[in-house]
Amino acid sequence: MSMEQTTADNGFAYTLTRTLDAPAARVWRAWTTPEQYDQWAYAAAGSVEMDVRPGGAWKATMVTPDGGQFPLTGSYLEVTENRLLVVGMDVPGKPEPAAMTMELDERDGQHTQIVLRQTCDTAEERDMAEQGSTMLLDGLSAFLAKETRD
C-alpha cells in the first residue's frame, strides 16, 4: 500500500476538476515553463526555477494580493509529460513534502480536463490549499484564453 492512500484515510483531501479550452500540451507548457508559469500563477517575475523531471527541484516566490511575498521550494515526485505532474512542496517543520497531483486528460485536441488533488493534515490546511489551487486554476484558465486570442 502506498503512502498516499494511508494519509488520505486520516487526512483532509480536496479534488478540483476543470475543463480548459486548450490541448494538453499547451496546458503542460503553461505549468512547466517558468516564463509562462509566472504570468498566471501569482509568482514574482523571474523567481520561478523548474527542473521538470522526477527528483528535480523547483522554486517560486508567490505574491499575495496585498503584495506580500512567500518563497516556496519543492521537487517533482512524478512526471509524465502532458499527463501527470506530482509536485512536492517543502513544508517548514514537516519531514514529508506536501504533494499536489495534477492530471491532464485531453478530450478532443481542443479541450483538456485538469484535476488537482491534495491531501492535507488539517481541515484548515485543506481549505487554504483548495483556495490557492482554485486561484491557480482561475489564473491558468484566463492565461490560456488570452493566449488563444493573441
Domain span at residue 14 reads: 3-149
For the segment 80-90, the average pLDDT, to the nearest whole number, is 97
Q: What are phi and psi of 33, to 5 degrees?
A: -110, 115
pLDDT of residue 7: 44
Q: What is the CATH number of the domain that holds 113?
A: 3.30.530.20
Measured at the CA of 86, the angle between CA 44 and CA 41, to 5 degrees, comes to 20
C-alpha cell at 112: 483538456
Cα–Cα distances in Å, from 143 out to 42, 65, 88?
Answer: 12, 18, 24
- Could you read off the pLDDT of 107-124 as tens digits, one per residue? 998 999 999 999 999 999
Asked if pLDDT for residue 4 goes beyond 60, the answer is: no
Asked if pLDDT for residue 27 goes beyond 90, the answer is: yes
For residues 15 and 116, the answer to whether their CB atoms sit within 8 Å is yes
Q: How many domains does the chain have?
A: 1
> Which pTM was predicted?
0.88
- Could you read off the pLDDT of 43-79 as tens digits, one per residue? 998 999 999 999 999 999 999 889 999 999 999 999 9
